[in-house]
């Protein structure tokens, strides 16, 4: 068996590996399940934080975060719910939105439960910080939302962050 590797490489049991090849660190974070129920609600928009997750990216050079939200929705009325992820890092006065708004709607009143899920990536900022991610739901009909969980996979983005100073 020939294992000719020049000085820029080392040999392990599997193959020649570039010494400068850096393994990407990856971390999985899972939040605790949340629940929201507002009986007899009609007509007024209410906003409620349904899931929360704290993430420390100080061990990453250029983090990219895949956020995944999932929940079980049970409602006996026709209506819709709007979900959005927000991020608040150290030193920020208020949370900022991450991505768009995701809407769940029901056009027929039934007591069947539905699973609702969406993903969002946060790779745009050069954060080296602790941040809290929040999932906020806005509704105007009585919700029963359970098992609301926000989880994240954090990994190296692999490219330099571009910071714009104004």
Q: What is the CATH number of the domain that holds 141?
A: 2.60.120
Residue 6 counted as domain residue: no
Residue 60 counted as domain residue: yes
Name the residue range of residue 77's domain: 29-107+117-156
Residue 2 counted as domain residue: no
Do residues 73 and 116 lie in contact, with contact meaning Cβ atoms separated by under 8 Å? yes
Task: Using alpha carbons, list the distances in angstroms from residue 86 to 71, 73, 91, 130.
Answer: 17, 21, 15, 14
Residue 1 counted as domain residue: no
Residue 4 counted as domain residue: no
The reported pTM is: 0.76
What are the pLDDT tens digits along the chain (166 aa)? 444 444 344 444 444 444 444 556 788 888 888 878 776 666 678 888 999 999 988 888 788 899 999 999 887 777 889 999 999 988 889 999 999 999 998 877 777 788 999 999 998 766 677 899 999 999 887 778 889 999 999 988 765 544 433 3
For 17-51, b/e burial (b = at least 16 CB within 10 A) is eeeeeeeeeeeebebeebebeeeeeeeeeeeeebb
């Amino acid at each position: 068996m020939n294992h000719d590797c020049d000085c820029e490489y080392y040999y392990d049991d599997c193959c020649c590996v570039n010494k400068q090849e850096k393994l990407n660190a990856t971390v999985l974070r899972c939040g605790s399940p949340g629940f929201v129920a507002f009986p007899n609600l009609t007509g007024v928009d209410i906003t409620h934080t349904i899931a929360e997750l704290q993430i420390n990216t100080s061990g990453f050079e250029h983090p990219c975060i895949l956020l995944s939200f999932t929940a079980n929705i049970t409602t006996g009325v026709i209506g819709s719910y709007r979900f959005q992820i927000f991020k608040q890092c150290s030193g920020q006065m208020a949370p900022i939105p991450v991505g768009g708004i995701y809407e769940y709607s029901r056009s027929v009143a039934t007591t069947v439960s539905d699973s609702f899920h969406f993903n969002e990536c946060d790779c745009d900022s050069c954060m080296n910080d602790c941040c809290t991610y929040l999932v906020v739901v806005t509704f105007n009909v009585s919700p029963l939302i359970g098992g609301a969980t926000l989880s994240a996979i954090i990994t190296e983005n692999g490219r330099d962050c571009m910071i714009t100073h104004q």
